């Protein structure tokens, strides 16, 4: 048995948002959190962790001031986009 949370709904929401973005466009992970819950801020650590999973799988790229970063460890605002 595992204590890890099931992030599949977050993966799906992030992937859907990335798919809806025009080619080369980025989005803020808070857009996904805001669409999922009124109290969206509490979702942000899980959203960033899920974005990290997708980045590890080559499905998303996280950037900060134009540099590629790990969304799990980056401090401050980040953007997400398709690779």
Q: Which residues of 17-34 are buried (b: 16+ CB within 10 A; e: fewer)?
A: bbeeeeeeeeeebebbbe
Task: Classify the C-alpha dihedral 9-14-17-18 as positive or negative.
Answer: negative
What's the CATH number of domain 8-81, 1.10.10.10, 1.10.1040.10, 1.20.1260.10, 1.10.3720.10? 1.10.10.10
d(CA 61, CA 56): 9
**pTM of the entire predicted model:** 0.91
- Domain map (residue ranges) of the chain: 8-81
Could you read off the pLDDT of 45-76 as tens digits, one per residue? 999 999 999 999 999 999 999 999 999 999 99
Provide the 3-class DSSP secondary structure of residue 18.
Answer: helix
Average pLDDT of the segment spanning 23-43? 97
d(CA 34, CA 4): 23
Model confidence at 2: pLDDT above 60: no
């Amino acid at each position: 048995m595992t204590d890890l949370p099931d992030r599949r709904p977050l993966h799906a929401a992030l992937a859907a948002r990335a798919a809806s973005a025009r080619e080369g466009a980025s989005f803020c992970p808070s857009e996904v959190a805001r669409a999922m819950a009124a109290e969206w801020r509490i979702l942000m650590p899980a959203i960033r962790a899920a974005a990290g999973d997708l980045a590890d799988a080559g499905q998303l790229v996280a950037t900060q001031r134009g540099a590629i970063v790990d969304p799990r460890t980056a401090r401050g605002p980040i953007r997400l986009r398709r690779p």
